Structure 1
Amino acid sequence: MHTTYSLHKISNPADFGFSPADYSRFKFGDDEVARHFGADLADGFIKNVLSYITAQQQLVVISSPYSFIPTATFTMKNHFVAKLNRWLAQHGWPVVQETKVHRTITYKEDYGELDAEQRLKLIGNDSFHIDSMFLKGKTLLFLDDIKITGGHERMISKMIEAHNLDNTTYMLYFGELVNHNIPPNIENHLNYYSVKSIFDLNEIIESGRFCINTRIVKYILNYDHESFCIFLQNKPDAFINTLYDMALGNGYHTMESYQLNLNHLKNQLVSYNKNLA
């Protein structure tokens, strides 16, 4: 059993309760938006849930599952924890602990484009793992940015059951689709609201508040090769190195659909290193 808390409940496709443009930028690495989202979610959880709990508890915050490259939710989690810890310290509670849900599968498909059945089929091939011994006797806060069909939540619940965890558990979301007459691909509308092409990423990357995540890496590597090459021109060496290292860390070099762009990325690094030498 677990309790679900969502800050924004989406019942109208024309009114999300938050800015679709901001949400899109958040999904592609805008840390400034993530800061606002994380702080707002913490404020809502404190006001509507935590302030009604009398006994002090050790809270463990767990971001959405990932393999090597963090998700956008991971960045939001950082700001959620910062805001929550201030409240906990002020009220004499122990500050939060953190742990990770490990996932085993990485896939090319864009989750936001899929319907409920396709999502379930895709994620059903995945498996999640967590350190159950570390969690014993603690209250668990699983964070995700949005709940659309509940597929990820079911996978988390399955993992909890497999590990025989009987902890008090909360599933926390920045947004939740509560009107199921709205098709699940509304998520795709939100994800790409501000990003219509690879060149729309420049403003986010160059903002000074950029955090790389799984979505932006997959989006860049999957883009048409000619535009990809133009996009990389004049990008800082640090960005190119990070992009390449993140791709390797998630095993994208083993996926045929990414190999053309990854080989070009690798050649860019080789050329740069030769010039340095």
Structure 2
Amino acid sequence: MIETPQETIMMMVNDEQRFALHLINNSKILSFDRYAYSRYKYGDSNQAIQFGQELCTGFLEKYHDFILSSNKQFMAISSPRSIVPPAAYYIFQTFLEKLNRFLQSNGRPPALEHTIQ
């Protein structure tokens, strides 16, 4: 299902689900702080952690009921990385930590972590 541009995207791709907190339809009108994004992009891990928290909060707000009613274990897939992890790694790790705390506090197994090679 693809929702309107103002809403979060949730698509089924080969039984995988994808989620995005922000959509960019106009580079002059952003739903996030472009200066914070610039700090993140150039390696500010504290900003990445904040983005990871916001991403997971948005995800849990939208899919809380689905997560708790599903009988399947979730898998979180991070982007490929080499020796030095990219900034996205810190967003992913923060998202996964918060998601797993939520899952375990609700008696669910933690999400499986997978990295694309």
Same fold (TM over 0.5): yes
Q: 2:59 aligns with which of 11, 31, 45?
A: 45
Q: What CA deviation, in whole Å up to 9, does each residue of 1:22-48 have, x standing for no partner?
A: 111111211111111101111111121
Greater share of helix: 1
Report the Cα offset of residue 10 of structure 1. 1.4
Letter in 2 for 1:97: L
Q: CA, structure 1 residues 82+3, in 2 after alignment: closer, same or farther (shift >3 Å)?
A: closer
Determine if the alignment matches structure 1 residue 32 to structure 2 residue 46.
yes
- Contact 1:88 1:94 (C-alpha < 8 Å) held by counterparts: yes
1:61 aligns to what SS in structure 2? Answer: strand
Q: Distance in 1 between matches of 2:107 and 2:89?
A: 26
Larger radius of gyration: 1
Cα RMSD of the aligned pairs, angstroms, is 1.7
Which residue matches 1:15? Answer: 29
Which residue matches 2:7? Answer: none
Q: What CA deviation, in whole Å up to 9, does each residue of 1:39-91 have, x standing for no partner?
A: 11111111212432412332222211123321111111111112111211121
Which residue matches 2:103? Answer: 88
Q: Distance in 2 between matches of 1:63 and 1:3?
A: 13
Q: Distance in 1 between matches of 2:92 and 2:34?
A: 19
Percent identical among aligned pairs is 34
Q: 1:77 aligns with which of 85, 92, 100?
A: 92
How many residues are aligned here? 102
Q: Distance in 1 between matches of 2:17 and 2:98?
A: 21
Which residue matches 1:66? Answer: 81
- Contact 1:59 1:97 (C-alpha < 8 Å) held by counterparts: yes
Q: Distance in 1 between matches of 2:71 and 2:85?
A: 30
Report the Cα offset of residue 21 of structure 1. 0.8
Q: Distance in 2 between matches of 1:18 and 1:92?
A: 33
Q: Which segments of 5 or more consecutive residues in structure 1 lack a partner in the other structure?
A: 103-277
Q: Which runs of 4+ in 1 moved over 4 A?
A: none
Q: CA, structure 1 residues 3+95, in 2 after alignment: closer, same or farther (shift >3 Å)?
A: closer
Alignment of 1:113-262 (within 5 A): none
Which residue matches 1:155? Answer: none
1:8 aligns to what SS in structure 2? Answer: coil
Q: Distance in 2 between matches of 1:37 and 1:79?
A: 8
Q: What CA deviation, in whole Å up to 9, does each residue of 1:202-236 have, x standing for no partner?
A: xxxxxxxxxxxxxxxxxxxxxxxxxxxxxxxxxxx
TM-score by length of 2: 0.76
Highest relative contact order (Cα 8 Å, sep 6+), 1 or 2?
1
TM-score by length of 1: 0.34
